[in-house]
Amino acid sequence: MATKRIIVACGSGVASSTMVMSRLRDLCRQRHLDVEFEVVDFRSLPSHLARADIFVSIAPHGDNPGAHGKPMLNGVPFLTGIGMEPVMDELERLVRED
């Protein structure tokens, strides 16, 4: 099982995405998941998605350019701190498959 690359996108690739990444990193460590992270802003997302395995978006219902083909997870629970577990279960499933 190779390291899975998770890309987190927000407005500027600074605050929200880093907050989400920080929480995800802790939770992934607890579950012993082999992952690495990258935070980007929405505008440069299309250029970065090609190298990613999983895309975590904090605007999950809006326009997520070029998400085609990559599984997208809802990043909002990692901002609100509410409802993180189901998303983590889905993430774990995605990371551990194949």
Partner 1 sequence: MDQTLDVVRYLIDLGPSVFLPLVMLILGLIIGLRFTRALQAGILLGVAFAGVGLVIGFIFGGVAPAGQRFVENTGVQLTAFDFGWTAAAAISWAWPYAVLMFPLQIAINLVMLAFGWTRCLNVDMWNVWGKIFVAALMTYLGVSVPVAFIVAGLWVILELKSADYTERQVQHLTKIPGISVPHLILFDLIFLAWVDRYILDRIPGLNKLKTDPQRLRERIGIFGENAVIGAILGLILGLIAFGPDAAKVAPVVVVAATGLVLMPKVAALFMEALAPIAEQAQKFMQSRFPGRQVSIGLDWPVLAGVPALWTAAIMLIPVILALAVLVPGNIVLPFGSILLIEATIGTVIIAQGDLIRTFILGALSAIMRLFTAGFFAVAITSLARATGVLTIPPEVNQVTWLGTPPLAWFGLKLGQLTQGQDLLLGIGSLIVLGGLIYLWRREMLRREALYGDESGGGLTSGTAVQSSVQPAGA
Is residue 64 a contact residue for partner 1 (CB under 8 A)? yes
CA angle, residues 22, 58, 15, in degrees to nearest 5: 45
Q: Are 76 and 28 in contact (CB under 8 A)?
A: no
- Least distance from partner 1 to the Cβ atom of residue 43, Å: 4
Nearer to partner 1, 5 or 90 (CB): 90
Nearer to partner 1, 5 or 23 (CB): 23
Is residue 92 a contact residue for partner 1 (CB under 8 A)? no
Is residue 33 a contact residue for partner 1 (CB under 8 A)? no
What is the C-alpha to C-alpha distance for residues 9 and 32, in angstroms, rounded to an integer?
23
- Binding residues for partner 1, rule: CB under 8 A, are 9-19, 22-23, 39, 41-44, 46-47, 55, 57-65, 67-74, 76-77, 79-87, 90
